Structure formats: structure tokens, C-alpha cells
Chains A and B, each alone.
Chain A
Amino acid sequence: MRAPAASPPIQLDRTAAKRRAAWRRRGIVLAFMSPWLVGFTVFFAYPLVMSAYLSFTHYDLLSSPKWIGLANYRFLFTKDQTVWPAVKNTLWFIAIAVPLQVLFALGIAVMLSRARKGVGAFRTVFYLPALAPPVAATLGFVYLLNPATGPVNTILEKAGIQGPLWFDSPQWSKPSLTLLALWGVGNTMIIFLAAVLDVPQHLYESAQLDGAGFIARVRFVMLPTISPVILFAVVLGVIEGMQYFTQAYVAANVAGGSASYSAEAANALGYPEDSTLFYPVLLYQQGFRYFNMGYASAMAMLLLAVSFAVTFIIVQNSRRFVHYQGPGR
């Protein structure tokens, strides 16, 4: 029997070649993506999965984790009396400081967009604080607002006013941190400025022709146009608010001072009177000071769930007030 024409093997060869080429392409794509993939796996996916696992264990960082089921979550929701005050502090910050930050950044951006002279200099001046490292900035504020020796209270005293106790008062510590946050809104401000400058000039002109004043132009032209950026700033602000740690940690430790030499230590976290004990500060305290990493992981999982839920709710509801330019929206 004579063999038929060799076309099928050739076809097979082609298919195989195609497949090889496809694999090669995939390989190349993967190779290009690998830095991100490795980073994502090592620094995000793995810690997340481990954290979820550890939240069901008793883990003191030193011996291997022991499975305890839902005990950490039970303690978190029913027995730990420090959680609710910490949550309240964090909510305070999100409800007060975050909106103020957005408004303040937007206000500066609008003013800068209207400045005629020295725009570059003003922009730099208002952006500059954002470059200060958070720890240094906090140290600076604690010094400025020292109730006894700080320049702010000294000036107030010269004017005959008894200044507040700032970081040393449970009523004033969060407002003091808010001042610090407002001082450092440079990043948000720059984004707003770009958005404000991006509003098409012809829209303002049309509105002006229709008799709209400054307020009306801001209300009906600028705000709707930059609303996606506002949404972005709010979501970012809320997420950062939920993770607020560094400034609170530094301010409490510096203002509180502590018996640190002997290290059995007056604990300054949350000083004064737990008013700066934000949720992430409590999480840190449990995980790294009390060697209670299993419980801290449970706290972290709750934070993740709440962050996710809040962001979801904001984005879902944003459709009502966020206006996207362009067709099809």
C-alpha cells in the first residue's frame, strides 16, 4: 500500500508550530509581567492569604501557629473593650478630617487656578508640605503645638488667650492631627488643580453668556466636570483614613513621653486617654507589642472587609453625583 500524500502530517506540524508560537508569546507576555506577578504574589497575595489563615490561629510570632477556630473573632466582637473606642476614633477621623482634607485641597486648587501672578511659586509653596516625611512633620507639629513652650501657644498667650493643650488633651488631640493632615494635602491639591484647569473653557464662557456668576459656574460647570476626581480623592481619603497610623503613633509617643528606659514602660500609644488609639494603632499594639499576631490578623481581616464594603458603597452611590464626560456615560 502506498502512503497517501503527506498533507496531514504537515498540517499537524503547522498546528504544533502555531501552538509553540502561542506558547512563546504567552511566555514573553509572562516574562514581561513577571516583575509585577512576583511582587503581587510575594507582597500582596501571600501575606493576604497568610493573614486570613493566621486570623484563625493563636500565633505569638515565636512558636508555630495553633488553630483555634473563631476564637479571635469572638474576642474581637464580644470581649475586647478597646476595639470600639478605636473604631470610634477612626470613624471620627474619616467623618471629619477626610471631608475637610478634600474641601481644603479643592479650595486651594480653585484659588491657585485663578491666580494671575506667581502661580508657580504658590503651587510650590502649597505643595511643599506633602514632601515632608510624616514622622518629621508630626514631630514639627508636636513641637509647634507644645502647650507650654510651643510658639503657637506663646503667641496666643501674648494676645491674652490661654491656648488649648493640643496633643495633650483628649478633646484636642484629634483636631491637632486634623490640622497636620490639612497642612499636608499637597498631593490631593495637585490632582484637583490639574482637574480644575482641565475644565473646558468654553463651558465657562457659555455659562457666563447665560448669566451665571462665579458661584453658579463652580456649582454647575466645574464641580460636575471634576466630580470623578472628587470621587477618587474621597475614596482614597477614606481608605487612608482607615489605615491612619504613623502620625497618631508618633504624636502620642512624643507628646506622651514615656518611661521607656526600663521598657516595662508607660505605654504612650493612644495618648492622651486613648484619644489617638486608632484602629490600626490598636492592631499594631496587639501584633507587635503583645505578640498576639493571630488576633491582630483577625483585626486586619475585619479592616479589609470594612474597607472593601465602604469603598463599594461609595462607588455604588457615586453614580448619582459623579458625572463622566464623553460618549456612552
Chain B
Amino acid sequence: MRRALTLTLLLALTLGVSACGGSKKSSPSTSTGETKVEPANITMWTPFVDPELQTLKAVVKDFEATHAGIHVKVIGGTNDDKIVAAIRGGNAPDVAQSFSSDNTGAFCPSGAWIDLGSYMKKDGVDASIFPTAPRDYTTFEGTRCALPMLADTYGLYYNKDLLAKAGYKSPPKTISQLTAMAKKLTVRDANGKLKVVGFNPFPSWYENVPAHYGPSWGAQWMNGDKSSLNTPPWQDQLKWQKSLVDWYGYDNLVRFNAGAGDEFSASNAFETGKVAMHMDGEWRVNFIKKEAPKLNYGTAAFPVADNKQDLYGAGYVTGSIIGIPKTSKHKNQAWLLVKYLGTNTPALAKLSNGIQNVPTTSASLKSPALTPLPGFQTFLNVFGNANTTTTPITRIGAANQETFQSFISKYISGSKTDLEGGLANVDKQIDNQLEQANAGQAP
């Protein structure tokens, strides 16, 4: 009995010591200029997996070095479902990162991620350090429960060899140029099967979602608190998309896509030269470096509608958000990490260099420490463009985008033909969803 007791005590001691980790060596409190906090072991969840995860861990190590006493355990490969479940179960991490800025509309109003306003005020962090779009997708109805941490912007990738072979020296700047070049760059075999697709406009293929196209037509999602998809910019965008899909033949493109390889694999259709021009995010630069280093390609802002040429240079932006779940037991320490990852210029530069995502403060965007890969500068420019937009944050998360996409797939395939009537109905559905989601909320 006594032996068992001794063993138990020993075990408890061992566990206790290992749980304390390195904090024994640290000073009793840590100072970061503004906030003094007690030492603590905190946890951060991130959706990143290797090799990106290693970059994040390296930056977190830098944070630990400058914040004595705070030890961070970084857990990769998580997602929003896990975060929500953990918040409900009371065992959420102290710091959570999400790839889905749409969910700001769920995290902020529910209080699931705490309001960062008072922390920012205390430490003198002003939201104006972020450009407009990331500033917008991290707040909801006046509550800022998240900071942006790296962004994704979209542009055009083009295969220089294929363009040169077809006699083109530069990428298209307008949609009509894109269309003409796409047709000329397309190669079919003797049976009419698509071998090379100039530009693949098939809905929902790879990055082909309306959110990414909208900015090139100056299209808006909402007018006030009503959905505004039945408007000329969206109509023009969809008419163009359908006419180009029809030019290839809908079934031909479906067959091409089915054999085109996974988007996030070395058999990506752009990386293997099956697609000559391509809409994609800035991360592709890094993927190409690893998966297709010999690909001779260039990047440019995505072409714009012929009647919106002043928009050239703009694009779509979205990004990761980072915040503190309400169940965190070390909110002060968590805030220091959130602040570091969201606002510290060297940290953002290091993250951007390692992951090749866009850094999210105006200062870090100009940091001399940035070492962008060739082609990456395009995306930094898109990010800084005043006309670059993001999708509005609503209580229904991505439901509006998905309802829209559902209609688009039917319109492009030809199973729905009435564009205006269809779009008006999509608007109605989204307004109904918004109304339904707002039921039970304080007026």
C-alpha cells in the first residue's frame, strides 16, 4: 500500500514537473513594454501543417525568446470545427487561428472569441495599421475579436513558354484579351479532346469561385444589408464565364478537369502545363518552386472587365484570422502572442518569407526583411491596391457564397437559363437566410 502511494506521489511529481516545462527557469513575471503578465504555458491551434507549420513554430520560438516565462505549445492541422467543439467543451486553446475569415461572423457576435478592443486600447494598437480589407474581415458589427495574420490575394499565373509559342509577349489585361488568348492557347487532339486549356473558367474548379472573380468586374455582394447579386457586374461576369465554358464544350471541360490532377499536388494542371493561364493565390509561387521548379511562368494582376479598366491591379483578398477563445485561462499571455503574430513587423516578414503568404500590416508590407520569390511581388501589389476587396462578413458565414455558387453551377451547365430571374431568386434566398440567422438576435 505504502509502495503504491509512494509510486503515485512520484508519478504525480513527475507529471507536475513536466507540465511546468521550462517555466521554472523563467523570471516570475515578464514585461513587454506595455503589459506585465505572469509566466504561463499556453497553447495555440493552427490549421498549418508542415512545412508551413515549421515556419510558424520558428516565429513562435522568437516570441518565447522575447517574452520570458511564456511557453507556447503549437498544434497544427486543426480546423474551425475542432475550434468550435473545443470552445463548447471548455478546452479550447489560448490562441486559435482560422483560415476562414467568413467565420468572423460567428466568432465575434457569439463572444466565442473575446473582444480584443480593451487589450488593443491598453497596448496602443490601432486597427489602422491594417489595410482596409483585412481590417474588415476581422470585425463584425463593431466587435473586433480577431487580428489578421497573413493574407491570400489572387491574380493571374501564365505559362511564358506557351504564350511565346502562340506569339504573345505579355499577359492579358482585360477580359476580352484573356478570352482571345485563351482560345488561341487551347490545343485539342484529333478527337476534339482538350489537351491544353488556355484558361479554364469552369465553376468551382480549383480557385474558380465568384468571390475571386467579382473584384475584376467591380461586383458587390451586398447593398446595405440586402444581397445584391442581380446587378450588371455579376451578370456580365457570369455571361462571360458561360460563353467561354460553352466555347470549350461543357462536357469536354468536365472530362478535362477529371483528369487534370489535384489542385494541391504536383500534378496541378498549371504546374504540368495543361493550363496556360490560371487564376490562383499567391501561395502557388511557393508550390511551383517546390513542385515544378523548371516551369517558366509569370504573374500579373487578374484581367478586368473591358468597361472597368481603372480597376486593373486590384483583386480579391482574404486571409487567416487569429484570436483568443473565451475559455482561455491565460488571456493576457494569449493576447501578447496574438499581438506579436498579428502586428510585429519582423515576425510577419519572417512568416511571409517562410510560407509565401502576404503579410497583413501596412508596415510589414514595406519591410526590407521581406524576400519575396520571383512573381510574389504581384500579390503584394494587389494587396496594397485601394480597389482590392474582400467578401462581406455576415452572420451566415459562407452560406451566401455557397447559395450563389449553387446557382452558378446550374447556369453554366445550362440547366438554368434565366440569368436575371435566377440571380433575383438567389438574392431572395440569401436575404431569407440573413433574416433567419438574425432571428432571436437583439434588434
Contacts and interface: CB of A to CB of B under 8 A. Distances in A.
Contacts of B259: 146-149
Interface string B383-405: 00000000100001111011101
The 7 closest A-B pairs by CB, nearest first: A148-B259, A58-B440, A66-B440, A62-B110, A263-B99, A62-B112, A148-B258
B254 A165 contact: yes
B418 to A, nearest CB: 15
B268 to A, nearest CB: 11
B164 to A, nearest CB: 28
A259 B401 contact: no
B432 A262 contact: no
B152 A262 contact: yes
Nearest to B98: A263
Contact of A63 (B111, B405, B415): B111
Interface of A: 57-58, 60-63, 66-68, 71-72, 75, 79-82, 146-150, 165, 168-170, 255-274, 285, 288-292, 294-295
Nearest to B399: A290
Given A262-B99, A262-B152, A268-B204, A62 B84 contact: yes
Contact of A266 (B209, B255, B258): B209
B399 A264 contact: no
Interface in B93-142: 98-103, 106-107, 109-112
Nearest to A259: B207
A260 B205 CA distance: 11
A232 to B, nearest CB: 36
The A interface is mostly helix, strand or loop, or mixed, namely loop
Contacts of B87: 62
Nearest to A258: B204
A57 B439 CA distance: 9
B410 interface: yes
Contacts of A255: 258
Contacts of B110: 60, 62-63
B38 interface: no
A75 B112 contact: no
24 contacts: A62-B110, A80-B432, A80-B436, A81-B429, A148-B256, A149-B258, A165-B258, A168-B257, A168-B258, A257-B204, A259-B207, A259-B212, A261-B99, A261-B281, A263-B100, A264-B102, A264-B391, A264-B401, A267-B406, A268-B204, A274-B410, A291-B84, A291-B106, A292-B437
Given A68-B439, A170-B415, A267-B402, A262 B410 contact: no
Contact of B251 (A57, A72, A165, A258): A165
B143 to A, nearest CB: 13
Given A170-B415, A271-B204, A62 B107 contact: yes
A273 B411 CA distance: 10
B200 to A, nearest CB: 12
Contact of B263 (A72, A79, A170, A259): A259
A265 B204 CA distance: 9
B397 A273 contact: no
Contact of A267 (B99, B109, B398): B398
B312 to A, nearest CB: 23
B191 to A, nearest CB: 10
Given A257-B262, A291-B106, 16 more contacts: A62-B87, A67-B440, A147-B255, A148-B260, A256-B204, A259-B204, A259-B212, A261-B283, A264-B101, A264-B398, A265-B401, A272-B409, A273-B413, A290-B396, A291-B397, A292-B437
A147 B107 contact: no
A269 B401 CA distance: 13
B278 to A, nearest CB: 13
A266 B399 contact: no
Nearest to A163: B255
B205 A257 contact: yes
A82 B262 CA distance: 29
B36 interface: no
